[in-house]
Structure 1
């Protein structure tokens, strides 16, 4: 439901915005017409003075000679396809070529306009010359624009002929330069080649090189053989070391020694072990028959001891032989290591020599290859000298004298000037309006709906109090200026023939928090300097006056007076700061609209209007609730407070239309929070504005006596 209500409002805002813009333009229509007519007239006169322009064109075909040119890397400008056409276009539009063409023109021929400062120079030619490549072809289209049709055709034909001669001379010059450069390079390469061959010969003699690859292979084979020999010696040494370790550990254990193959394979040791075994077997038989002191027992034991000594002696001999063999193997291994190191150093030396030898050979081969390439290029350059004698540019379609002008488009320029003038005038008028004074904009909109602007209130910075409460008293220049604006509103009300007779002033706003409470209190304070004033807080939904004045917000007030629970004296209190009586809202009711609709409320207002000179009522926002409309029926007119910071021009116009449709009678509009005018007299003379003038003091005294 809420969304359906917002959509028409948005559409209404759009219509109002367009209506406001149209109203602004309608008010300034004569200015818009004057600016548009002025721009249109000036542009039309300027266009009428422009001479007619004629365009002549010719077509050139670029042959494919350069595309197949083998010297395209040596001759500048040589290329193929699109690159070749781009090169030709660059040459045609170069400054040097333009100077050559201008030098061939007749003395009485003028390229530029009579007032053109570039007349008869290269820049004038390039400014009117256009060169384009025809897509997917080798054709070039040259056009020249001039106010004289004969000059345009003559110049474009001269450009084509001059370009053919210019391109031929340029290519021949480049061919000669390329030939000279190649000849010089051939001589340089030959000198480098002879020097490289001499270095190679000296290098071979110095290192005695016949076939370095074979020498390297022989050294590699020798190193491989030495590695095999070293591996074999290392293996034998390891086996012998292990065998010596076993024999040293098992030297007394002949049975374990017999299990070692290298020991048991020795014939003498094998015989002694066999003999010892037989003696030990016989001795075992004798032990069974004889005692240890028997001669045969003793003799058998001595034989066994002798055999063991012999076997031990043989084992020691074998161990000694192995030790000697171990020393020999170590010596041989050291010799092989020395040979390996020597062979490796020899191989490294041969490899370094071989690399240097290859570098010298590669240098010779590079010079030979470069010499062959340059020789071929020299032959091709000689061939190109003959080819360049014939032009590679052909005129396909020579230029003719153009019969009809191509411009200027006077009608199109005039129409464009008319449109631009109108748009510029509209933009200027809108800028003047939207950057004008804000007050005048709101005044115009209010006047359109028949409402009167009775005053403005500047924006003030609140200090030291709750910013949500109304402004009662401040200090400084801003507050002094603020009070002067309030007094100006009071003066406008007193001088207005309709508002001056209206003793009851009811202040409302479009939406909440627009500053109506502050203006209500300040107006009461200002009027109290001249009249007896009472302030009534009729905003029964969100009352703020009692709390702002330091009173209990729940004290008896308007609702209590309407409900007859309290007397008028109990509901009213005197505010020394305002120098006025205040009737607060009282107890907040459940249905504020019901209280304000009572006939007693209208009767109370009529009584107060007789008792006081001025009755100022603060009402709720008029578009938020309908309470203010009920108050309007009792007082006749409402004074509307509008916050320019919260209500833009478009929204203000839309809400004014809503108020007009609702039939609410608006007596005047007060603009709040308008930007301060620093040039104001009271803003620069605040101290002077603090004291009332003599005339004001005298008027105040007379009213008091009355």
Structure 2
């Protein structure tokens, strides 16, 4: 049993997760007519709906709003335009969107009586009851009529604002006024009128503001002039009292003097530090040591010292030359020695002279620094005195400047306001008036129809993938191997329906032996024989997961195909729903398997020869009350042993494995078992569970036969999964 299990089970190797675009394309092709049909219906409905929508026209006028007006004189502050530009433009956009401006336009264009804004509302009732005509008297309607007109005006304004769009252009002073309406000319008229009304409203506001500003400025000027005169008199009296000359109370002159003295003091301090450093060096050496003083850089670099040193060096060189020829007591040597001593004496005197000069320079530098310090302190005291006067002077001057600035500002504003009282300049202008649109802006019928078609196609494709994901049936040989883990023994193509022959698969092998159906049976027969060449399977059982999958058709066809080569016995072991006798037109009341196992008839009495297929058939016989017990009895095993000695091949049609346990009972008694799965019908979970039960019973399942396969559909939509099974054997021919 383990050998058969190993032969019938396909090793499922781990596969890499690879996106197979061909599978996606095949899924779309399988449902293409449904997708196209759905898209066609949705597109048609969309076209009908779009065609009934009233076209809307859009007109746009461009308005230029200037933050800095081109006025003759600058009076922006009077109108409150000197704030931030961003806030100013946002305010103007808000005015353009305001309800008050919309009401002005509605009133100006008399939109209350315009047909577009007075379209009749469709009544929900089939007819209207004019109940007022039935009354013998008239009701007062004056007050109600006023309320109705006000409500109507508000409604018209709401409709007007609903079609209006104000959209500023980024990083510019331009703003688009867009209006949408079913009347193209009305949309253009409203867009232009709104811009003009905004400009007029702005001009009216400026005029009123100018008049108010002129009246207020005139009253303020007299008081400001008096205060300015008094402040100027106080300033002049203080200057005369303190005898102040120059700017800032003389502080500018004192400041220049302070800067000059401070600069000289810095230079004197630098000179003193340099002289002090040199003085400390020579003082540390002392005047009694000319040879060491000679090493001080300042002394050494002095021109007279350098000349003296050169003279001393020449005398010394002369003495060294004469010493080679004369002795120490020679008159010439004594003269040279005297000359060398004089040279040394002169050099030392010159060194002392330079040192005395360094000391003198140091004392002069100290005196100069002290003198400048005294001068600086005096200048500082003078500046402090002047600062106190300058502080008081600044108060008087600031008071005068402040009052003069306020007076001049008010005088300027008054003159500007007076000069521009009759000048009406707008802060905005229409840079691009709206023109009558030739084509509606919406709905974009073609675009909507195309979008509806594309969206419906995408939705249809999505549904197709959902249906494919929900389809858990077995359709291809690869799915048999991957999902069921079994080898593909063969397949049986789906035969065309024929009302006269509802079960034409029963006799197709004999009626048309050259058909693809007959060829597929021979292929299955070959697979059965090749599955055990050394030890042929004499007893072969055919089962399925559920009823109606075609196990009986396979048993009959396999018996006919094998009967051409061997002596074959077909046993109908489906003791609950036997169908072999009916399919072959045999006597269903004749003794059969149940009678033989029960001992009610002999073997020869239970076997009928079917001449057309050249096979022997043992029908089910009388349906017993306990089929499972009958098949699991020792009597049935003995009967099967006897039959094996008389026939080359025994094919047993068994009940479905998921419905009852008959197939499990027969598992130990058969040499091979073929599992039938109906293509695109049986879920792989059910088939997998059925095979699992058979494996647990150690059933020798050698392979799976995929039944009722739609060859044309499979070859078209499953591609390579069917190529090896159909095209090679001609299954996809028209005859199939």
> Which bin holds the TM-score, normalised by the shorter protein?
0.3 to 0.5
Identify the structure with bigger relative contact order (alpha carbons < 8 Å, sequence gap 6+). 2
TM normalised by structure 2 equals 0.39
Q: TM-score, normalised by structure 1?
A: 0.41
